Amino acid sequence: MAKNLTTRGEDYSKWYNELVIKADLAENSGVRGCMVIKPYGFAIWERMQAELDRMFKETGHQNAYFPLFIPKSYFSKEASHVDGFAKECAVVTHYRLKNDENGNGIVVDPDAKLEEELIVRPTSETIIWDTYRKWIQSYRDLPLLINQWANVVRWEMRTRLFLRTAEFLWQEGHTAHATKGEAIAEAEQMMNVYADFVENYMAVPVVKGLKTESERFAGALETYCIEALMQDGKALQAGTSHFLGQNFAKAFDVKFADKEGKLDHVWATSWGVSTRLMGALIMTHSDDNGLVLPPNLAPDQVVIVPIYRNDEQLEAVSEVATSLMAELRARGIRVKFDNRDTHKPGWKFNEYELKGVPVRIAIGPKDVENGTVEVARRDTLTKQLLAKGDAVGFVSDLMQEIQDNLYKKAVDHRTENTTVVSSYDEFKKVLETKGGFIAAHWDGTTATEDQVKKETKATIRCIPLDDDNEPGNCMVTGKPSKRKVLFAKAY
């Protein structure tokens, strides 16, 4: 491994941290818990954003922008919401700095204290519902289907790049509906949109389900989620969609007149995915050689590396490379021709392997002579020599093949690492030796859920929606259980 990358077997967590840095995805900043998303990492996030944004718009949503700051008093209006977020938020208390009179440099000006403190948004329900009160009067104003791309801040104590950072980027959908049924349908629809995106673009299989009461979003009546399984057997929550009932409408007094003129509070949803998806993407596909990217999200899907010893050779190779690039681009493939003379081919091979570019094409003087090119796949680390005339069709087909292969590998890994258990002893044993998703019966009480969490660190990831709903007995208490739920240790 020329990359000096810790292997997954040695230390999965260390491997992840090193990979994020070495593949130029992100790094820690001088601000505690806040990351810098580097250009290569950001280019992947931009592709995610573009696809999600398209899907949101196709389902009738519009983007808008609401303030970064939330007055403290707004928070207190929805009781469970403030409980959920008050302990980890950044508070703005002053609006000016000044030169210290005693020569201590720049200090906060005590005369510039805000009358009411402002919270840097950890999520925007409160400021948005305060606004919706002005926007919604009648059934004609509904449904209101709005999304926001934004940065949010949650003062996490232990942070990890992409997975848990004090500031992160996300989108948050906030919708208002005339009926309970419509709001539930919206929450389910957005869970399905997320699942579609994560499976078909990120090539990460997910389980759709409901959160238990104790794992629900602060202020939600029901939280839908998609859960993915990482290579180390830990689960990662990839997205959530909340049915908020009339909680926020009541807290912020948002009512609408129906066709008969009768007033009622509106029904709400909110839903979000964040830069955390980058963590899921990295941990699902990457290997000991570095990042592995699915073609649907790779900023560069193909890189062409020229092999040459002199200018004459470079010219001949470049001619082949340029025409190949043009043909691939004509098929909508994102191709980069790396003809920098500041780096050797070996360095470039290594670099693109580390950065997960799905396909590498190498062309040398012999290839020019023989009319061949060498095509290497990042996912399988295999390479083969092709007639130049066959390369375009082959590489074109490879895009879908690699996408499918990555998804299949991830599904197989999840299948192998999903275990059905019938006793708590078996549960503990599987959790210790194998990890992964564990399906087990649970009596439906928070007490039992807490006990399992305390004793094993595993949590209920979700109550799967596609379960067979076979009743049984709780593995811990033996009490009746309506269906199995999915446990795992989680990120």
User: Between 42 and 308, whose beta carbon lies closer to a copy of itself?
Assistant: 42
Closest separation between CB of residue 112 and a copy of itself, Å?
8
4-to-161, 283, 371 alpha-carbon distances in Å: 20, 18, 36
End-to-end CA distance of the chain: 27
Helix axes 39-58, 180-200, angle to 10 degrees: 140
From residue 33 to residue 52, the character string flagging contacts with a copy of itself as x (rule: CB under 8 A) and all else as - is -xxxxxx--xx-xx------
Residues 247, 219: contact at Cβ < 8 Å?
yes
Q: In the set 14, 54, 140, 429, which binds a copy of itself (CB under 8 A)?
A: 140
- The answer for residues whose C-beta is within 8 angstroms of residue 347's C-beta and 6 or more apart is none
Q: Residue ranges of the alpha helices (H) in 259-360? A: 276-285, 311-330, 345-354
Residue nearer to a copy of itself on the CB measure, 62 or 323: 62
Among 1, 10, 14, 27, the residue binding a copy of itself under the rule CB under 8 A is 27
Q: Which is nearer to a copy of itself, 82 or 226 (CB)?
A: 82
Q: Which is nearer to a copy of itself, 27 or 404 (CB)?
A: 27
Among 86, 257, 411, 490, binds a copy of itself (CB under 8 A): 86
- Tell me if 66 contacts a copy of itself by CB under 8 A: yes
Nearer to a copy of itself, 127 or 486 (CB): 127
DSSP string, 309-334: SSHHHHHHHHHHHHHHHHHHHHTT--
Q: Closer to a copy of itself at the Cβ: 67 or 345?
A: 67
DSSP state of 380: T
Kindly write out the interface string for residues 308-347 of this chain, putting x where it contacts a copy of itself by CB under 8 A and - elsewhere: ----------------------------------x-----
Please give the Cα distance from 455 to 459 (Å, whole number). Answer: 10
The Cα 436–Cα 232 span in angstroms is 8
- Smallest distance from the beta carbon of 437 to a copy of itself, in angstroms? 33
Secondary structure class of 213 (helix, strand, coil)? helix
Binding mask 144-163 for a copy of itself (x = CB under 8 A): --x---xx-x-x--------
Q: Is 75 in the site for a copy of itself (CB under 8 A)?
A: yes
User: What's the token pair of residue 469?
Assistant: 């709903």
- For tokens 């019966």, the residue is 441
Q: Is the peptide bond before 480 cis (omega within 30 degrees of 0)?
A: no
Choice between 98 and 457, CB closer to a copy of itself? 98
Helix or strand run (H / E) with residue 305: strand 302-306
Beta strands in 134-183 (DSSP E): 144-153, 167-177
Q: Which amino acid is at 450?
A: D
Q: Name the DSSP letter for residue 7.
A: P
Least distance to a copy of itself from the beta carbon of 247, Å?
18
- Interface of this chain with a copy of itself, residues 90 to 119, rule: CB under 8 A: 90-99, 105-106, 108, 117-119
Which residue's CB is nearer to a copy of itself, number 37 or number 486?
A: 37
Contact positions with a copy of itself (CB under 8 A) in 159-188: 167, 169
The angle, 0 to 180 degrees and rounded to 10, between the axes of the packed helices 311-330 and 388-416 is 60
Name the one range near a copy of itself by CB under 8 A: 123-131, 185-193, 429-437, 438-446.
123-131
In angstroms, the CA 108 to CA 96 distance is: 6
Least CB distance from residue 267 to a copy of itself, whole Å?
20
Which of 14, 87, 180, 457 binds a copy of itself (CB under 8 A)? It is 87
Cα angle 202, 208, 211 (rounded to 5 degrees) comes to 125
Is the Cβ of residue 106 or residue 263 nearer to a copy of itself in the bound state? Answer: 106
Residue 80 in the binding site for a copy of itself (CB under 8 A): no
Nearer to a copy of itself, 50 or 385 (CB): 50
Scanning the structure block, which residue is given the tokens 């499918």? 404
Residues that bind a copy of itself (CB under 8 A): 27, 29-31, 34-39, 42-43, 45-46, 62-72, 74-76, 82, 86-99, 105-106, 108, 117-120, 127, 130-131, 134, 140, 146, 150-151, 153, 155, 167, 169, 342
